[in-house]
């Protein structure tokens, strides 16, 4: 990717791990993001993390929310972002 190019948008199948009560649950789910590594998604993509938190915990959950993306299982380009990186 050269300077000024617009980043791709990816459909990702991801493995997540979260704590609910006293148990740790692992699950496969999907995400759409312009980032491709678990660390980048968790740090930079607040919209995706918010959607995953709502999906896992719901809006009424009051306890501590601990959600981690552990692995990206697959990625597929679905478009191009309008905003540069």
Q: Using one digit for the tens of pLDDT, what is the confidence trace for 50-79?
A: 999 999 998 888 888 899 999 999 999 999
Tell me if 34 sits within 8 A of 52, measured CB to CB: no
* Torsion angles phi and psi, residue 56, rounded to 5: -80, -50
Q: Using one digit for the tens of pLDDT, what is the confidence trace for 6-43?
A: 889 999 999 999 998 899 999 999 999 999 999 999 99
Q: Distances from the Cα of 11 to the Cαs of 54, 58, 81, in angstroms?
A: 19, 23, 13
Residue with tokens 């699950």: 27
Q: How far apart are CA 50 and CA 66, in angstroms?
A: 12
Segments making up each domain of the chain, as ranges: 8-57+64-80
Tell me if 10 sits within 8 A of 79, measured CB to CB: no
């Amino acid at each position: 990717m050269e300077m000024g190019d617009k980043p791709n948008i990816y459909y990702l199948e991801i493995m997540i791990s979260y704590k609910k009560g006293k148990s740790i649950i692992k699950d496969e789910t999907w995400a759409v993001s312009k980032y491709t590594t678990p660390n980048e998604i968790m740090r930079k993509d607040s919209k995706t993390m918010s959607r995953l938190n709502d999906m896992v915990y719901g809006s009424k959950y009051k306890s501590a929310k601990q959600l981690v993306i552990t692995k990206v299982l697959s990625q597929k380009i679905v478009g191009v972002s309008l905003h540069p990186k």
